[in-house]
């Protein structure tokens, strides 16, 4: 398996597949252009059947230099979404993924993100928000469920509280040492009633001089040049390669490289080079 550390390595891999350096670079650039323009294309497609996508994502990818996010939606209506809302000195954050695709998933997204904003505005705790959203989804009996991270970040103390509802573990960077952050978890929301005190499994961490990354499975399930899912380890490797950049640049570079994975893995099939799932990553900067 060829180790990929930089763009020169990408070109070398492409040459192994019979492309000249110029052809390889043009292929990467072409795929990157498609990748970076996917959001506008996806929005046009979504308008044909539903407009719920507009409700899912905040208008900014950089909030107070604390919260950074990057999302590239698939061309289908998918289940990834993130949102945040200020209340007092806290930023309430959700990044979640509804099971399945299509209009049903889009409607659940719309429902959850609306409930999230309502409950934050009512000064509910993260535990209360998660419990109420779970109750709401469970009563729908829709067969849909949701995995996600629900968090509250205190801008003064730089403490983070969060609940992991059946989602991937997060990643933390401290002094540029990037590792997986294991956490307490509950089942995905909408599957069963919650009959215990969520405060007993509430995760708490200080983010002073740390960066906390939350991401969707669309990112960790992206495939490398050998066709294998990169998993959490692969996301950590991508962050390590970009840790000396600004957070915005880190996230941008990760998405460009993931698009290159697809482009060069499927050199002879342009359609397969287009990533099919939503990709979302969010970073909380404790400074």
1 domain residue, yes or no: no
| Tens digits of residue pLDDT in 102-123 | 677 778 888 899 999 999 999 9
Question: What pLDDT shows up at residue 110?
Answer: 84
Indicate if the pLDDT at residue 4 is higher than 60: no
Q: Of the candidates 256, 166, 263, 164, which has an alpha carbon nearest to the alpha carbon of residue 219?
A: 256
29 domain residue, yes or no: yes
CA atoms of 85 and 73, how far apart (whole Å): 21
Q: How confident is the model at residue 144 (pLDDT cuts 50, 70, 90)?
A: confident
Q: Which spans in the chain are helix H?
A: 7-16, 21-36, 38-49, 53-56, 103-121, 126-140, 217-220, 231-241, 247-265
Indicate if the pLDDT at residue 53 is higher than 90: no
Question: What pLDDT shows up at residue 204?
Answer: 98
- For residues 36 and 244, the model is more confident at 244
Least confident range of 58-72, 112-126, 255-269: 255-269
| Tens digits of residue pLDDT in 5-31 | 555 666 566 667 666 656 665 666 666
Count the domains in the chain. Answer: 1
271 domain residue, yes or no: yes
157 domain residue, yes or no: yes
Q: How confident is the model at residue 215 (pLDDT cuts 50, 70, 90)?
A: very high
Question: What pLDDT shows up at residue 49?
Answer: 44
CA atoms of 282 and 149, how far apart (whole Å): 11
2 domain residue, yes or no: no
Residue 207's H or E segment, with its range, is none
Give buried/exposed letters for 217-236 (b at 16+ CB in 10 A, else e): bbbbebbbbeeeebbbebbb
> Domain of 34?
7-285
32 domain residue, yes or no: yes
Question: What pLDDT shows up at residue 50?
Answer: 43
207 domain residue, yes or no: yes
CA atoms of 213 and 111, how far apart (whole Å): 25
User: How high does pLDDT run on average in the chain?
Assistant: 82
Indicate if the pLDDT at residue 193 is higher than 80: yes
Indicate if the pLDDT at residue 238 is higher than 80: yes
Is the alpha carbon torsion for 60, 148, 116, 284 positive or negative? negative
Max mean pLDDT among 167-181, 217-231, 268-282 falls in: 167-181
Mean pLDDT for the stretch of residues 197-211: 97
Indicate if the pLDDT at residue 272 is higher than 60: no
Question: What pLDDT shows up at residue 77?
Answer: 61
Domain of residue 72, CATH code: 3.60.40.10
Question: What pLDDT shows up at residue 10?
Answer: 60
What pTM, to 2 d.p., does this model score?
0.81
C-alpha dihedral (251, 256, 259, 264), degrees to nearest 10: -140
13 domain residue, yes or no: yes
Q: How many residues does the chain have?
A: 287
């Amino acid at each position: 398996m060829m180790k990929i550390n930089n763009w020169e390595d990408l070109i070398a891999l492409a040459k192994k597949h019979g492309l000249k350096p110029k052809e390889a670079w043009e292929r990467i650039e072409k795929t990157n252009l498609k990748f970076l323009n996917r959001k506008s294309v996806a929005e046009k497609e979504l308008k044909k059947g539903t407009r719920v996508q507009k409700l899912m994502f905040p208008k900014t990818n950089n909030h107070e230099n604390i919260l950074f996010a990057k999302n590239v939606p698939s061309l289908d209506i998918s289940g990834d979404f993130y949102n945040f809302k200020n209340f007092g000195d806290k930023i309430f954050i959700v990044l979640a993924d509804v099971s399945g695709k299509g209009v049903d998933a889009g409607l659940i997204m719309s429902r959850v993100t609306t409930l999230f904003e309502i409950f934050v505005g009512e000064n509910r705790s993260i535990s209360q928000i998660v419990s109420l959203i779970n109750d709401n989804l469970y009563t729908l009996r829709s067969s849909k469920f949701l995995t996600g991270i629900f968090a509250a970040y205190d801008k003064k103390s730089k403490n983070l509280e969060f609940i992991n509802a059946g989602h991937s573990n997060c990643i933390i960077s401290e002094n540029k040492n990037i590792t997986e952050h294991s956490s307490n978890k509950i089942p995905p929301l909408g599957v069963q009633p919650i009959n215990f005190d969520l405060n007993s499994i509430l995760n708490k961490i200080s983010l002073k001089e740390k960066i906390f990354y939350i991401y969707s499975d669309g990112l960790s399930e992206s495939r490398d040049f050998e066709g294998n899912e990169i998993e959490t380890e692969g996301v950590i490797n991508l962050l390590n390669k970009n840790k000396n950049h600004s957070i915005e640049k880190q996230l941008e570079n990760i998405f460009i490289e993931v698009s290159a994975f697809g482009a060069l893995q499927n050199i002879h099939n342009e359609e397969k080079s287009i990533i099919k799932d939503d990709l979302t990553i969010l970073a909380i900067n404790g400074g």
